[in-house]
Each structure stands twice: as C-alpha cells, then as structure tokens.
C-alpha cells in the first residue's frame, strides 16, 4: 500500500498543477481580451467639420466620464447622429471610417457626436466588457444629446461592430430615437469568442468552453451569453438598418441576416456591401453606404 502513495501524491500534484495552469491561462486571456486601449486620437476635429465642442458626460448607471466631440452642421436640418465605435477603437475609428461618416453627415446638415467608449481614447475606465456594460455609454451619450436640446425623434444612433451590439442592447431604452443603424453587430457573443479566440491566440479551443468565459464573467464583468438577437426579437415595433460586408472576416455576415430575420418590424432593412473585411464596407463603397443610411433615416425620421 505504501508503495502506491508517492504515485498517488504525484498524480494529485500534477493534476493540481494542470488545474492551476488552466486557471492562470484562462485569467490571462480574459485579462488581455478586456484590457482597455487608451489610444491616441489620430484625426484632428477640423478634418471633420469647422465647428465643434469638446464635450464630456457620464455613462448611465455607473457614471464613468466619457469624452468626445460634438460637431455642428453649418446649415443644420435639426437632425443628429450619435456614432458608436467598435472594440479597441476610439471616437475616430479609422479602421471603419467612422470619422469620415461623421464628416459626411455634418456636410449633409446633421449635427454629430463622436465619443470614446469606456476604456478607450480619453474616456475613463480600464476594461472593455464586450457590449455588457457599454450600452450604459450609449445611453449616456443619448442622455447628453437630449440635455443639449436635440429631439430624440430626429436622432439616429449608428454603431459599428461591438458598438453596434451595444446599441442593440440599449435599444429597449431608446424607444424615442428616430433611427437605429447597426454596422456589423454580432448576434451572439459566445460563438464569436469560441471561434475567434483560439484562432487569434493559437491556444486550444477547450480553454474557451469554460475557463476563459468564466474568468471574463466573474472577474471582468463580461456576459459571454449576450445575445443581441434576442433583444431585436423582443422589439417587434422597432425598425433597424443592418449593414455589413458580404464576406466579413470577423463577425459572420450571417449574423446580420439573423438579426434582420429576428426583427418583426416591416421597416427593418438589411444592406450588404461587397467587402471581405470586417467593418470596411464604407471604405470600399462610401457613396452606397451613405445612400443606404440616408434612405433609412428619411424613412424613420420625420
């Protein structure tokens, strides 16, 4: 009997070491996944429009200070757009051409708000939550615009990637907003994490089944079970415009199709523009992209 004790002890030690290693790797990947990126703002506001205000406002509920630019159209038509950038971006989000979209709408007579989500650009915070808490930032931006006197019914919110999913998650509290536009939102978070993290980290997929998701949830406040598609389905009266690349290399194009099918509103639209890169469809087809945006806004906003 005693001869087997060292072997059992070794097995226990090895097993404990493997569990500890699994936990450390899971926490480390979740740490990187949610780490904020206070990247420098690479575009000057004068490149977007001549008139702007430097603004700050609190997120709803947890009151993090968010910062951005509010642009004023030279000949305002009374409409406004709030732009919401994606993961690890900032208010100008050059990868998706967000600042050029803002320049377009200001020239078109709209006032425009570009701002940094939590843990991005110059806003407060140190962690992303992958659209779990970011809806509070969208709602904070909406509250700010209403306090500035902008009519909710003449307002549009356009979100990109994680920003689009955040906008959808906030949609139940945006019933008075004239138009909601989603550019490349994910329909469900968990499949995206399970598919993309092993590919990008070169770690085995089993790590993402429980360890990283649990670490992200318990330590960093991410809800891996987030399903914007369920929010869309629960708002049959709410029209959305879903924009995406025809061959998106990050969020499957099928996600926009799924979101569109979930919508019960006859006013919802889907427009797929040819591109094989995530959120690059505006950069490839700016005129077609903005034509779809303006047509939907004209349909939704009096």
Instruction: Output b/e per residue, 205-215; b: 16+ Cβ within 10 A.
Output: eebbeebbbeb
pTM: 0.89
pLDDT at 3 over 60: no
Which residue(s) pair with 112 in the sheet? 71, 81
Q: How far apart are the first and last CA of the chain?
A: 85
Compute φ and ψ for 108, nearest 5 degrees. Answer: -85, 0
Length of the chain in terms of residues written: 302
Residue ranges, CATH 3.40.50.1820, the chain: 39-188+226-300
pLDDT at 12 over 90: no
pLDDT, average across residues 16-42? 71
Query: Mean pLDDT for the chain?
Result: 89
CA distance 132 to 146: 23
Reported in sequence order, the residue ranges of 32-154 that DSSP labels E, i.e. its strands, are: 52-58, 65-71, 80-84, 111-115
CA 201 to chain centre: 21
Span 39-188+226-300 CATH architecture: 3-Layer(aba) Sandwich (3.40)
CA distance 116 to 98: 12
The lowest-confidence range among 145-154, 189-198, 205-214 is 205-214
CA distance 222 to 209: 15
CA distance 217 to 133: 12
pLDDT at 246 over 50: yes
**Neighbouring residues of 92: CB distance < 8 A, sequence distance ≥ 6:** 41, 42, 43, 85, 98, 99, 114
pLDDT, average across residues 31-59? 90
- Name the percent of the chain lying above pLDDT 90: 72
* Residue, of 299 and 129, whose pLDDT is higher: 299
* Residue, of 164 and 40, whose pLDDT is higher: 164
pLDDT at 170 over 50: yes
Please give the pLDDT value at position 5.
56
Closest to 26 (Cα-Cα) out of 186, 205, 227, 196 = 205
pLDDT at 192 over 80: yes
Q: What is the pLDDT of residues 67-95, one digit of tens each?
A: 999 999 998 899 999 999 999 899 999 99
Compute φ and ψ for 292, nearest 5 degrees. Answer: -65, -40
pLDDT, average across residues 117-139? 94
Q: Assign 141 to helix, strand or coil.
A: helix
Please give the pLDDT value at position 1.
47
pLDDT class of 211 with cuts at 50, 70, 90 = low
Q: What is the DSSP string of 185-220?
A: --S-HHHHHHHHHHHHH---GGGGTTHHHHHHHHHH
pLDDT at 35 over 80: no
Neighbours of 165 (CB within 10 A): 35
* Residue, of 214 and 256, whose pLDDT is higher: 256
Please give the pLDDT value at position 223.
86
Which residue(s) pair with 240 in the sheet? 180
CA distance 231 to 238: 10
């Amino acid at each position: 009997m005693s001869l087997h004790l060292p072997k059992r002890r070794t097995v226990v030690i090895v097993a404990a070491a493997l569990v500890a290693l699994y936990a450390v790797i899971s926490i480390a990947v979740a740490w990187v996944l949610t780490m904020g990126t206070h990247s420098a703002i690479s575009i000057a506001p004068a490149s977007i429009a001549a008139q702007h205000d430097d603004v700050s406002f609190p997120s709803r509920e947890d009151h993090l200070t968010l910062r951005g630019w509010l642009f004023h159209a030279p000949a305002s038509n009374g409409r406004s757009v709030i732009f919401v950038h994606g993961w690890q971006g900032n208010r100008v989000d050059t990868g998706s051409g967000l600042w050029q979209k803002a320049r377009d709408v200001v020239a078109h007579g709209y006032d425009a708000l570009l701002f940094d989500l939590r843990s991005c650009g110059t806003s407060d915070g140190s962690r992303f939550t992958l659209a779990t808490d970011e809806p509070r930032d969208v709602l904070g931006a909406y509250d700010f615009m209403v306090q500035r006197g902008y009519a909710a019914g003449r307002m549009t919110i356009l979100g990109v990637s994680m920003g689009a999913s955040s906008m959808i998650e906030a949609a139940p509290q945006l019933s008075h907003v004239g138009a909601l536009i989603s550019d490349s939102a994910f329909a469900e978070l968990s499949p995206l994490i399970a598919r993309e993290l092993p590919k990008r980290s070169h770690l085995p997929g089993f790590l993402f089944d429980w360890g990283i998701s649990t670490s992200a949830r318990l330590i960093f406040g991410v809800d891996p079970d987030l399903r914007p598609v369920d929010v869309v389905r629960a708002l049959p009266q709410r029209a959305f415009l879903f924009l995406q690349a025809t061959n998106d290399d990050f969020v499957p194009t099928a996600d926009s199709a799924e979101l569109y099918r979930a919508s019960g509103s006859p006013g919802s639209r889907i427009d797929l523009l040819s591109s094989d890169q995530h959120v690059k469809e505006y950069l490839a087809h700016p005129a077609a992209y903005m034509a779809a945006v303006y047509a939907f806004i004209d349909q939704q906003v009096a």
